Amino acid sequence: MERPASCVRVGAGRCSDVAALWPEMVKDKGARGVRLLKLLFILLFVLLSVAFTLMNDGNVRLNYYFGIRELPIAVVILGAVALGILLGLLAALGSITRLRRENAAQRREIRSHTRDNDYL
């Protein structure tokens, strides 16, 4: 029996259409592009941060409950950004944990159904 031209062998005697496999092939190339774009964005952010730090080298008086301290403005801004990132991650941690747990449960359910279908 002759396979059609668009048929690609994917397993033991099984045949799949090339058009069905195309999104998977494109997805792999797209992931590399997204990763490169993220890397470029991070590099741009770091370069802008360094330029900002070099341009703003003045000191700021920081008044807090236990005293007063003079710090460079870049350190104060960096601390505020770091604190914001930390608080954002802590706020999202519950949702992330819940979604990972749901994802794991659904994967177990899919594996169970796949095993059941293999026996049919």
Higher pLDDT, 39 or 28: 39
Tens of pLDDT along 41-79?
999 988 988 888 788 788 999 888 889 999 988 888 888
Output phi, psi for 60, to 5 deg: -130, 140
Please give the average per-residue pLDDT across 93-111, as a whole number: 92
% of the chain beyond a pLDDT of 90: 34
Tell me which of 53 and 22 has the higher pLDDT: 53
Average of per-residue pLDDT values in the chain: 79
- All structural domains of the chain with their residue ranges: 7-90
Angle at 33 between CA 29 and CA 35, to 5 degrees: 115
Q: From start to end of the chain, where are the E strands?
A: 7-9, 15-17, 59-64, 67-72
Burial annotation 57-80 (CB, 10 A radius, 16+ → b, else e): eeeeeeeeeeeeeeeeebeeeeee
- Choose between 23 and 94: higher pLDDT: 94
Mean pLDDT, residues 9-32 taken together = 55
Instruction: Select the highest-mean-pLDDT range: 31-35, 87-91, 115-119.
Output: 87-91
> With the C-alpha atoms ordered 29, 35, 40, 44, is the resulting torsion angle positive or negative?
positive
Nearest-5° Cα angle at 77, 73 to 83: 145
Instruction: Provide the token pair at 37.
Output: 């774009």
